[in-house]
Amino acid sequence: MTDAKAAGPRQRGGSPQASSHTLLEGRLGYQVESALLVRALTHRSYAYENGGLPTNERLEFLGDSVLGLVVTDTLYRTHPDLPEGQLAKLRAAVVNSRALAEVGRGLDLGAFIRLGRGEEGTGGRDKASILADTLEAVIGAVYLDQGLDAASELVHRLFDPLIEKSSNLGAGLDWKTSLQELTAIEGLGVPEYLVTETGPDHEKTFTAAARVGGVSYGTGTGRSKKEAEQQAAESAWRSIRAAADERAKAAKAAKEAAEEPIRETADDATKAVGEPVRETADEAVEAAEESEESVQGADASSATA
Which residues are tagged catalytic?
Answer: 64, 136
Please report how the helices 148-166 and 57-78 are oriented relative to each other, as an axis angle in degrees rounded to 10.
60
d(Cα 280, Cα 273) in Å, to the nearest integer?
Answer: 11
- DSSP class per residue in 20-78: HHHHHHHHHTS---HHHHHHHTB-HHHHHHTTS---SHHHHHHHHHHHHHHHHHHHHHH
Angle at 290 between CA 287 and CA 292, to 5 degrees: 110
Containing 205, the helix (H) or strand (E) segment is strand 205-212
Question: Is the CB of residue 224 less than 8 Å from the CB of residue 190?
Answer: no
Q: How many CB atoms are located within 10 Å of the residue 298 CB?
A: 10
Beta 192-198 vs 205-212: how paired, if at all?
antiparallel
Q: How many CB atoms are located within 10 Å of the residue 21 CB?
A: 20
d(Cα 17, Cα 280) in Å, to the nearest integer?
Answer: 96
The tally of CA atoms less than 13 A away on the side-chain side of residue 153 is 12
Question: Is the CB of residue 141 less than 8 Å from the CB of residue 34?
Answer: no
Please give the DSSP secondary-structure letter assigned to residue 125: G
3-state SS assignment for residue 222:
strand
